[in-house]
């Protein structure tokens, strides 16, 4: 698995998890979904993402995400 695909997996798990928690437990979990969306917008403009920094240290290979 490449770095780019792992990022997509992490974001998907967080969004689905927080949505499920909002539906099954408490709607306040939707804040996590909103924060993840806001972070994605911010990261697209600045290129700064802490998850990328952590995953790079794990040694995952990097190549075009949608090639």
| Tens digit of each residue's pLDDT, the chain (67 residues) | 888 889 889 999 999 999 999 999 999 999 999 999 999 999 999 988 888 888 889 988 888 766 5
Name which of 6, 21, 14 is nearest 36 in CA terms: 14
Instruction: For residues 31 and 36, give the distance between their C-alpha atoms in angstroms, rounded to a whole number.
Output: 9
Give me the pLDDT at residue 15, please.
95
Does pTM surpass 0.85? no
Domain coordinates of the chain in residue numbers? Answer: 3-57
Task: Check the CA dihedral 20-15-12-66 and report its sign.
Answer: positive
Q: Which tokens go with 49?
A: 């993402």
Give me the pLDDT at residue 34, please.
94
Instruction: For residues 53 and 32, give the distance between their C-alpha atoms in angstroms, rounded to a whole number.
Output: 20
Give me the pLDDT at residue 45, please.
94
Calculate ∠ Cα 22-26-28, nearest 5°.
80
């Amino acid at each position: 698995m490449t770095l780019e695909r792992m990022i997509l997996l992490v974001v998907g798990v967080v969004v689905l998890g927080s949505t499920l928690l909002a539906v099954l437990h408490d709607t306040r979990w939707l804040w996590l979904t909103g924060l993840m969306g806001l972070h994605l917008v911010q990261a697209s403009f600045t290129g700064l993402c802490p998850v990328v920094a952590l995953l790079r240290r794990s040694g995952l290979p990097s190549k075009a995400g949608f090639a």
